[in-house]
């Protein structure tokens, strides 16, 4: 069997979505349709950025019996964090929620997906890191993205890091896919400019890797091509954060998530995972940093990426791997080379002959 064959013959997309200005107002009706009993409650994970934003919280319009957890997104989720969060929730509430909401960027939406899965599948988060290990559907879940680009609202995975073995991998399963998405561009108005670019570029990079890989299919290619087209339109425009462009980026994020659900990433994401695991850098910013070293691997896209960076006057950190210790370089190599499927997609089954330890360290030093 080809190493890239996950034996997935069908692909599940999100069942329903609401989009456009003011679509957050659809939430109350959706939740009311799920509250079958008086004691029914909703679990809502919200990016901590909005903890002091009364206008946004009022739009969510939850009841007194519901539980809101504000997520500290300064660190990406770990399996240990997911496990402890579920324990804390179960200690406070005896019955499961009828709906789980993830409102925020990729971190918050991934946490909501992971908790939904673990409510109905016994064990710990690390037990389900991999492909199609979940046995049962999770709690009904709704994504409300407030950042655009990761595709977490559309993908069949929720990524987390196991600090014990250094593995950054998701619960990759049809059961991880959201049941409903609300894409309201008004929720992305307050995103800092650099962050808007970093996150939006995740959609572009997903699809660049997919189209340059060996594991291709017509549907994935169509999603990827359209995503890249939208990203080019947004990031080559005069105002990448206009009302229209913020809606466009929500569409690109969703389509990019659909693209990667039928394909694989390539070289950029494994190196990005190394930066996240070893140096604690956030995924989307790490992707952009990795692009500093990708000229030999993705030359056309390398040039296009930097043209968009200069057009939008975005700051991309540099020298993040300068003067690291030999042990840190060892960890970076191990955290990168472990991503067998995307590296095979990008370089073939002999990828370890291309990415020797010396070569991987050389690439990191360019960042």
214 in the same domain as 92: no
255 in the same domain as 239: yes
Provide the pLDDT for residue 1.
Answer: 44
- Here the CATH number for the domain that contains residue 97 is 3.40.50.1970
- Is residue 335 situated within a structural domain? yes
By the 8 A CB rule, do 346 and 3 touch?
Answer: no
207 in the same domain as 180: no
- Tell me the average pLDDT across 305-315: 98
Provide the pLDDT for residue 137.
Answer: 97
- Is residue 51 situated within a structural domain? yes
* CA pair distance 253, 344, nearest whole angstrom: 25
- Is residue 45 situated within a structural domain? yes
171 in the same domain as 43: yes
250 in the same domain as 134: no
Alpha carbon 18 to chain centroid distance? 20
Q: Which two tokens stand for residue 328?
A: 């840190």
Provide the pLDDT for residue 3.
Answer: 56
- Is residue 206 situated within a structural domain? yes
222 in the same domain as 102: no
237 in the same domain as 138: no
Q: Is the pLDDT of residue 13 over 60?
A: yes
222 in the same domain as 182: no
By the 8 A CB rule, do 346 and 297 touch?
Answer: yes
- Is residue 6 situated within a structural domain? no
174 in the same domain as 29: yes
- Here the CATH number for the domain that contains residue 199 is 1.20.1090.10
DSSP single-letter state for residue 291: G
- Tell me the average pLDDT across 333-345: 94
- Is residue 113 situated within a structural domain? yes
Q: Which of 188, 203, 229 is the last residue of a domain?
A: 188
Report the range of poorest mean pLDDT among 34-38, 86-90, 290-294, 355-359. Answer: 34-38
* CA pair distance 328, 47, nearest whole angstrom: 31
Provide the pLDDT for residue 8.
Answer: 52
What separation, in Å, do the N-terminal and C-terminal C-alpha atoms of the chain show? Answer: 36
Give tens-digit pLDDT for 102-132: 999 999 999 999 999 999 999 999 999 998 9
Q: Which of 121, 156, 188 is the last residue of a domain?
A: 188
* CA pair distance 118, 115, nearest whole angstrom: 5
- Is residue 4 situated within a structural domain? no
183 in the same domain as 204: no
- Is residue 323 situated within a structural domain? yes
Provide the domain count of the chain. Answer: 2
Residue numbers of the domain that contains 248: 193-365
By the 8 A CB rule, do 142 and 16 touch?
Answer: no
Decide which of 323 and 228 is more confident.
228
Provide the pLDDT for residue 166.
Answer: 80
282 in the same domain as 137: no
Q: Which of 171, 188, 205 is the last residue of a domain?
A: 188
- The number of residues in the chain equals 367
222 in the same domain as 180: no
Q: Which two tokens stand for residue 249?
A: 């980026």
């Amino acid at each position: 069997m080809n190493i890239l064959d996950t034996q997935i013959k069908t692909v599940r997309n999100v069942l329903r979505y609401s989009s456009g200005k003011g679509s957050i107002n659809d939430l109350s009706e959706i939740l009311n349709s799920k509250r079958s009993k008086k004691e029914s409650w909703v679990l809502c994970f919200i990016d901590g950025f909005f903890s002091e934003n009364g206008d946004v919280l009022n739009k969510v319009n939850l009841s007194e019996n519901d539980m809101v957890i504000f997520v500290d997104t300064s660190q990406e989720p770990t399996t240990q964090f997911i496990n402890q969060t579920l324990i804390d929730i179960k200690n406070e509430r005896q019955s499961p929620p009828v709906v789980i909401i993830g409102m925020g960027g990729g971190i918050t939406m991934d946490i909501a997906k992971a908790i939904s899965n673990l409510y109905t599948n016994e064990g710990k988060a690390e037990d389900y890191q991999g492909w199609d290990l979940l046995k049962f559907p999770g709690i009904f879940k709704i994504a409300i993205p407030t950042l655009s680009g990761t595709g977490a609202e559309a993908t069949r995975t929720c990524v987390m890091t196991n600090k014990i073995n250094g593995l950054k991998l998701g619960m990759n399963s049809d059961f991880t896919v959201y049941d409903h998405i609300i894409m309201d561009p008004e929720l992305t108005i307050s995103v800092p400019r650099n962050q808007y670019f970093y996150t939006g570029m995740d959609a572009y990079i997903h699809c660049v890797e997919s189209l340059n890989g060996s594991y291709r299919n017509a549907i994935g290619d169509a999603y990827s091509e359209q995503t890249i087209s939208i990203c080019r339109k947004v990031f080559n425009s005069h105002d990448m954060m206009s009302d229209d462009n913020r809606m466009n980026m929500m569409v690109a994020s969703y389509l990019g998530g659909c693209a990667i659900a039928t394909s694989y990433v390539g070289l950029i994401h494994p190196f990005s995972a190394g930066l996240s695991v070893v140096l604690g850098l956030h995924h989307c910013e790490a992707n952009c940093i990795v692009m500093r070293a990708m000229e030999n691997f993705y030359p056309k896209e390398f040039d296009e990426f930097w043209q968009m960076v200069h057009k939008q006057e975005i700051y991309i950190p540099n020298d993040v791997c300068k003067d690291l210790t030999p042990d840190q370089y060892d960890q970076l190599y191990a955290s990168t080379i472990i991503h067998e499927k995307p590296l095979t997609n990008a370089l073939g089954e002999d990828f370890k002959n291309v990415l020797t330890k010396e070569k991987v360290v050389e690439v990191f030093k360019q960042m």
